[in-house]
A = this chain, B = another copy of it.
Amino acid sequence: MSFGINRRIVLTIAATVAILFGPTLPILEQAQAQTDPLPSWNEGATKQAITDFVARVTRQGGPDFVSPDERIATFDNDGTLWVEHPMYVQLAFALDRVRAMAPLHPEWKDTQPFKAVLEGDMKTLAASGEHGMGELVMATHAGMTTEEFQKIVTDWLATARHPRFKRPYTELSYQPMIELLAYLRANGFKTFIVSGGGVEFMRPWTERVYGVPPEQVVGSSIKTRFQMRDGRPELFRLPEMNFVDDGAGKPVGINEFIGRRPILAFGNSDGDLEMVQWTTMSGGARLGLLVHHTDAEREYAYDRNTSFGRLDKALDGAALNKWIVVDMKSDWKRVFAFE
């Protein structure tokens, strides 16, 4: 059996195997990838750079070949895979939770930053800074079991709507990125999320929305405690930070949770700078990418001067290190699946 075998036969075999053993067989994804795997990306230098890179690292015997087990790709989440404006989705969740929990906390009416949330006073809330945000997160993310928190997140996502798009947040994931994740997996990559967001806020839905299973999601976390209650084991969420997966924390998290260095990293802000440095500045074929939010009409436009999701140092780093800066307005044919 040689590699010169008629391609039609290979595809027939692939299809037969797929029918017999289920549609998720990687071989079928490979076969499907023969048509344009990135239909929501406009033709041009950016799309070309991505497909060229994938071709190089998957060409067996080529100078840049990377074995499948080393094809690790890491993606930021907020602003890279889904919308992060006008506020991080997880912050919207925290604010909604404060409102929902307020009847059980009459003291919040007179205590900042809860008072500001309940009065819709975003200016005072912002002025409460990191300390205030920390209090909000702990009050809304801790004090329950991991299973209870998972249900709270799932229930909230089912009903919450984005203030501008009036749609569930999970529909505000970027269609070109969903295609890119699938394209990479079809080419033997293992795709990971590496986000500053809470890992237990993401895991309940990343498999459904991005095809990324829980065990491939790295994120920030609070501490948990194992305990037996009524003869059943549970993990109780404590109001204490465990790990902040942002900035210089991202390569630390990648090393701790994945234990391999990625060959492709995709971010959109200065919080992703170190992840992209760690990925690309190590010799060998590597690809660093940044989403540049340039499309106020279809999504948002911001970079150096936004109060969060700021893309400033990382944009300078891109120029210096030849990372690909994805121009949302010109590179993406479609931003959302519902367009």
User: What is A's interface to B at a CB cutoff of 8 Å?
Assistant: 1, 3, 5, 10, 13-14, 16-17, 19-21, 25, 27, 30, 69, 72, 146, 190, 199-200, 203, 207, 213-217, 221, 223-226, 228, 231-233, 235, 242, 248-249, 251-252, 255-260, 274, 277-278, 281-282
Contact = CB atoms under 8 A, between A and B. Distances in A.
A121 B148 CA distance: 51
A82 B273 CA distance: 40
B213 A226 contact: no
A1 B258 CA distance: 40
B259 A257 contact: no
Contact of A274 (B19, B214, B233): B233
Given A199-B259, A252-B226, A255-B224, A281 B17 contact: no
Nearest to A213: B69
B1 A10 contact: no
Q: How many copies of this chain?
A: 2
A300 to B, nearest CB: 29
B20 A5 contact: yes
Nearest to A10: B20
Given A214-B258, A217-B259, 13 more contacts: A5-B20, A13-B13, A21-B30, A25-B27, A69-B207, A203-B259, A214-B260, A215-B215, A215-B216, A224-B252, A226-B274, A231-B281, A233-B282
A19 B281 CA distance: 36
21 contacts: A1-B20, A3-B20, A10-B20, A13-B13, A13-B16, A17-B17, A17-B27, A21-B27, A146-B255, A190-B215, A215-B215, A215-B258, A221-B256, A224-B255, A225-B248, A226-B248, A226-B251, A226-B274, A228-B277, A233-B278, A233-B282
Contacts of A282: 232-233
Contacts of A228: 277
A27 B255 CA distance: 31
Given A69-B213, A199-B256, A257-B257, A281 B232 contact: yes
A25 to B, nearest CB: 8
A259 B215 contact: yes
Contacts of A225: 248, 252
Contacts of A249: 226
Contacts of A199: 256, 259
B13 A215 contact: no
Contacts of A233: 251, 274, 277-278, 281-282
Contacts of A200: 259
B1 A215 contact: no
